[in-house]
Chains A and B, each alone.
Chain A
Amino acid sequence: MPKKYTPGKPGEFPFTRGTRSLGYQDPKKKFWTMRMFSGFGSAENTNERFKKLLSEGETGLSTAFDMPTLLGLDSDDPRAKWDIGKGGVAVCTLEDMEVLFKDIPLDKVTTSMTINAPAAVLLAMYIAVAEKKGISKNQIGGTIQNDILKEYIAQKEWIFPPLPSVRLIVDTIEYCSEFVPRWNTVSISGYHIREAGATAVQELAFTLADGIAYVEACIKRGLRIDDFASRLSFFFDFHNNFFEEIAKLRAARYLWAHIIKERFGAQNTRSMMCRMHVQTAGCTLTHQQPLNNIVRVAIQALGAVLGNTQSLHTNSYDEELCLPSEEAVIIALRTQQIIAHETGIANVPDPLGGSPYIEGLTKKLIEDARDYIKKIDDMGGMIKAIEKGFPQKEIRDSAWLDKKFQDDKTKIVVGANKFNDTSEEESCGNFEIDPQAQTRQLERLKAFKARKNSKLVKESLLEIKIAAMENKNLMPYLIEAVKNNVTLGEICTSLKKVFGEYQEVAN
């Protein structure tokens, strides 16, 4: 990596100033994708929310799955009992997936799915649903988060140990490079790392180090860097420190471009682009005086746009208390629309580029993140660092410090530790999930399991197991299995037998 920091021009290597020369005025894609993370109850409830958001001007879908789905459990698993449809939507079968995307044109709308440990299975379901609608897999576009390393580091929703998990990720990358060319195979995520308490530089460094680990795993498999790198995408948080956060997004693009070019020898400039989705920071919201959150989200969203994101989720003001109500989510979407259509901020590419403050901050973050990445390299890469508990500990220490500063009021949180004597609490946090959702989901699953061909299911599961043991790419087997009505839980149970299960590490 060069000693001297050169930001370059918008749309040119190293893309510090954005991946497009015309910025948000590119006629091929004006503005950014307004993608609101949604999911709750049964597939019917979420489908309804999707359609509502699209009708209100949302330009891409983003799916939140419930905890059992994230952990590869069917809704009828005893462990799922208290969490069905609570933090997201329950999807266990191809039928659930069909209901979820009913009447949504999958060749026109792109869909992001926040799913990690069982991402390959959900992608298989999505492909199968599209095919049922007569849309071939080379037409669909979207993203699976598929970033397991940050689960061990921060979000803690895993199934298998790191090595087989990364193998599954490489399977999806290999398969999509050939058959699903418009799919973003991994959304390498700093968001959860930051929300768990990391600083900006930790978020930046650990995310890129995760990315390096995935690229290395792909190259080890024999893939060529230019065949897959352009479909890797990123997901960052946008926190409160406005200019530092803008600089972080710029530093991420600069660093990734250099890493892909110099460390991995890519030739194609598209491979070097760090394309990103950004979400405003959930952890900065307060349950006290919740309407203040609208202001926080607006400022963070503005920063994300000034940082040249490709895609944006804006949080709802009631998220510190419950899942977003429809009213709150529409305000969040309107916030993006106001920035796009009313402020003129998107008129020129990277308006802040060249500002000594911004460029200085960018340079500083690049240097600090580089030191962290070097440290992780010296440990033998991110998987080794995770085994040592290194990123986990760094984040925990930052989270502790942040909490300390909030408690002693070194850090002011308006409405929470200062200016908090408003006697009247705003009424919000009233969103209730459809009480029938759980029953509906369980009944559909029961009927689904009753009518399926158990011989075919057994055969599919056996094939998956054999392919897993023989190190074959699992994607074709997974697609075949979901078409044969094998459930998510059945597939994950079979894979657990081959891969084992990851256990929480206490530090």
Chain B
Amino acid sequence: MHQFKKGIWRVSGGGKLTTKILLVKGGLDGHDRGIQIVTKALRDSGFDVIYGGLYCSPEEIAAITIQENVDVVGISTHSGNHLGIFSETIKILKEKTNTHWPIIGGGIIPANDIPALEKMGVDKIYLPSTNITEIVEFIKGLKLMKRKKESQQKTIERILKGEVFAAASLMSLVEQGDNNAKKIISKLPDLSPQTIVVGITGFGGVGKSTLINKLIEHFRKDRKTVGVIACDPVSVSRGAVMGDRIRMKDHAQDEGVFIRSIVQRQNFKGVTPTTPSIIKILGAMKKDIIIVETAGAGQENSGFKDLVKVLVWVSVPGLGDKIQMLKGGGIETANIIVVNQSDKAASYLTFQDLKEHFENTKKICKTNSLTGEGISELVKAIKVV
């Protein structure tokens, strides 16, 4: 793991820090050969990469930057939109946080435009054929953002007002094991009884993030505010790629939605040891619904249920041997079981199997997370638990 001597949020008593980088394609651009290579290279060098996906507008880039409280923003563009995308992103970040965020860029960018980009606050532009180690070394050497210290009381007030930047910054401090942050967390109010904390678990690839995207849509129509904690596993290199966000992109700009990606380095009930604190911060921001997504399912998730009020176990038809499926992932602790991808022919059989097996002990729902079919039924079931 890379450790930096200087860095934001690095306060005495802080734990280990991995630099968090957001990588996005800016504007309407699909050329992703470069960004995919950089994503992998940075992960392999031990960084945490949040992959924000294709077609990100400056508003979306800024929103993700702030919510995830990343250390570096990397924007790739090959469509000639760079001047507009970079200047607008920097402008919005400045407006919302009054801070200069380290920004790097890459793609097809005329040499003549580079001085203008640097002047507007871009730290470095990488043209094609850049040696990857150059990028890695640059990020390692980058002076990370310094933040003004403020009193605990002030931070608490800002979080209670729902300020995204304050909440996101505190989450980072929590992730670093900062002692001051622990004190702040202990002073935050407990979750209101009305807050619904929903856990979403299930094996990888069953469509958990896409389902959450539809749940958010539904809750927002209902005028409920939503917080999401999306958990991804760490790779062998100790770096991680967090890509769940791209499936929830419809809500990137919605001020009523806060999405935070976390990396599971030590397994704690299927999530991370910091998850309870992050839930508490989201609760203090008065999010009506808090959704926690696990990094995947397994026996070790059995404690996950303690963290949430409602546990939803997501499965898909044809996942293999029925018994095998029922054994793993703490399905027995779930309140609701979802058969996702209801458009698949086998979904009826899976649905019937599960109904038979659990009889009336659990609610079984069928959903299609692409079309949104069955989501209102699922929401109803969540509210009833």
Contacts and interface: CB of A to CB of B under 8 A. Distances in A.
Given A67-B27, A321-B108, A399 B127 contact: no
B49 to A, nearest CB: 11
B191 interface: no
A431 B26 CA distance: 21
Interface in A470-507: 500, 503-504, 506
A413 B270 CA distance: 47
Contact of B85 (A71, A82, A504): A82
A197 interface: yes
A83 B128 contact: no
Interface stretch (B31-39, B220-228, B376-384): B31-39
Contacts of B131: 406-407, 417
B81 interface: yes
A334 interface: no
A321 B110 contact: yes
B28 A67 contact: yes
A88 to B, nearest CB: 9
Given A87-B80, A287-B127, A322 B88 contact: no
Contacts of A156: 30-32, 54
B27 A430 contact: no
Contact of B81 (A83, A287, A425): A83
B14 interface: no
Contacts of A79: 28, 55, 57
B247 interface: yes
Contacts of A12: none
B79 interface: yes
B370 A87 contact: no
B129 interface: yes
Given A322-B108, A400-B37, A288 B129 contact: yes
A339 interface: no
A429 B246 contact: no
A86 B55 contact: no
A504 B132 contact: no
Contact of A417 (B29, B30, B88, B129): B129
Contact of B80 (A286, A323, A413): A323
B79 A504 contact: no
B30 A500 contact: no
A288 B127 CA distance: 10
B36 A399 contact: yes
Nearest to B81: A82
A196 interface: yes
B111 interface: yes
Given A322-B80, A399-B36, A403-B37, A157 B129 contact: no
A161 B210 CA distance: 15
A320 B246 contact: no
Interface residues of A, number: 49
Given A196-B33, A322-B110, A504 B54 contact: yes
Nearest to B58: A82
Contact of B133 (A83, A320, A407, A413): A407
B47 interface: no
Given A82-B85, A83-B79, A320 B51 contact: no
Interface string A375-408: 0000000000000000000001001100100110
A39 to B, nearest CB: 12
B127 A83 contact: no
B133 A400 contact: no
A303 interface: no
A416 interface: yes
Given A407-B131, A413-B129, A503-B247, A425 B111 contact: yes
Interface string A271-304: 0000000000001001110000000000000000
A433 interface: yes
A193 B61 CA distance: 28
A318 to B, nearest CB: 9
B237 to A, nearest CB: 14
B84 interface: yes
B243 interface: yes
A401 to B, nearest CB: 10
B202 interface: no
Nearest to B370: A500
Interface in A318-354: 319-323
Interface string A64-86: 00111011010000111111001
B89 to A, nearest CB: 10
Interface in B67-126: 78-81, 84-85, 88, 108-112
A155 interface: yes
A195 interface: yes
Contacts of A500: 370-371
B53 A287 contact: no
Contacts of B30: 151, 155-157
A497 B315 CA distance: 27
Contacts of B280: none
Contacts of B57: 78-79, 81-82
B37 A86 contact: no
A403 B246 CA distance: 25
Contacts of A396: 36
A288 B58 CA distance: 30
Interface in B180-220: 210
Contacts of B128: 283, 286-287, 320
B265 interface: no
A288 B130 CA distance: 11
Contacts of B129: 286-288, 406, 413, 416-417
Contacts of A83: 27-29, 79-81
Given A79-B57, A195-B33, A86 B108 contact: no
B367 to A, nearest CB: 15
Contact of B112 (A87, A195, A429): A429
Contacts of B210: 503
Contact of B51 (A71, A157, A161, A506): A506
Given A67-B79, A286-B129, A323-B80, A506 B53 contact: yes
Nearest to A399: B33
Contacts of A87: 29, 78-81
Nearest to A507: B243
Given A81-B84, A197-B33, A399-B33, A506 B28 contact: no
A385 to B, nearest CB: 16
Contacts of B246: 503-504, 506
B54 A321 contact: no
Contacts of A161: 370
A125 to B, nearest CB: 20
B40 interface: yes
A231 to B, nearest CB: 27
A406 B128 CA distance: 11
5 contacts: A80-B28, A81-B84, A283-B33, A406-B129, A506-B53
Interface of A: 66-68, 70-71, 73, 78-83, 86-87, 151, 155-157, 161, 195-197, 283, 286-288, 319-323, 396, 399-400, 403, 406-407, 413, 416-417, 425, 429-431, 433, 500, 503-504, 506
Given A68-B28, A503-B247, 16 more contacts: A71-B55, A79-B55, A80-B28, A81-B57, A82-B27, A82-B28, A82-B88, A83-B80, A87-B79, A155-B30, A156-B31, A195-B33, A320-B128, A399-B33, A504-B53, A506-B244
Closest 6 CB pairs of A and B: A156-B30, A506-B243, A86-B80, A67-B28, A82-B84, A87-B79
